[in-house]
Amino acid sequence: MLLKATAAIALLSSAVLAAPAAVTFDDAAVARPQVVLSGARQAALNWGADKLSRIGDDDGQAHAMTQWGWSDCGLVKEDDLKIESLEVSPDPPKPGHNLTINASGRKGTSADVTVKLGLIKLLTKRFDLCDELANINSSLACPIDPGVYSFTHTVALPNEIPRAKFQVNARVVTPVVEEEVGCLDLWINFLVPDQL
């Protein structure tokens, strides 16, 4: 489970390098796209030339979750993967710094990860969670028995991450019948309000 979140963050850090940092026509910057998260976690991320709205609020005040956020978007079943906590350090994530991810959750198998910049898909890929556990030298190994697991992993975020808002969706599915057993929505805002 935690590996899913780690893989999504690691993929985000490498996938954002493929996105353009800025697009201009006739020396005027093109308006930034709008991202809307659906369902109960709906939070419009509105951009304008003179302001940056905060995720999930309209009061204009900065809050701890204005730079990044996550939600467990899975259908809750007793034996499904359940994300119980996700913390990052530094908070919020900063380009050019190491990102340490602490998470806890319950079992899963493979993850379908999608990284978006606005409505543009930067990455869509399936990851085998057992292979990913082996790749990061985790103390966990497959098969993973049902239970609660905690996980810490550090990845280096490159300096070249475009100053933009990104959305990551990771769906954990079973290998045979493709049944969804878990889901994570993650959004990261690399636009720093003090620098706008």
Instruction: Write out the residue range of the structural domain in which residue 143 sits.
Output: 2-20+36-195
In a domain? residue 30: no
Please provide residue 185's backbone torsions phi and psi, each rounded to the nearest 5 degrees. Answer: -105, 130
Q: What is the pLDDT of residue 105?
A: 66
Q: What is the pLDDT of residue 163?
A: 82
In a domain? residue 48: yes
In a domain? residue 41: yes
In a domain? residue 26: no
State the total domains in the chain: 1
Q: What is the pLDDT of residue 108?
A: 55
Low-confidence ranges of the chain (pLDDT < 50): 1-66, 194-196
Q: What is the pLDDT of residue 3?
A: 40
Angle, vertex CA 183, rays to CA 177 and CA 189, nearest 5: 145
In a domain? residue 148: yes
Whether the CB-CB separation of 9 and 115 falls below 8 Å is answered with: no
Q: What is the pLDDT of residue 78?
A: 56
Q: What is the pLDDT of residue 73?
A: 82
pTM over 0.75, yes/no: no
Q: What is the pLDDT of residue 107?
A: 59
Q: What is the CATH number of the domain that holds 91?
A: 2.70.220.10
In a domain? residue 29: no
Q: Determine if the peptide bond prior to 20 is cis (ω within 30°).
A: no
In a domain? residue 27: no
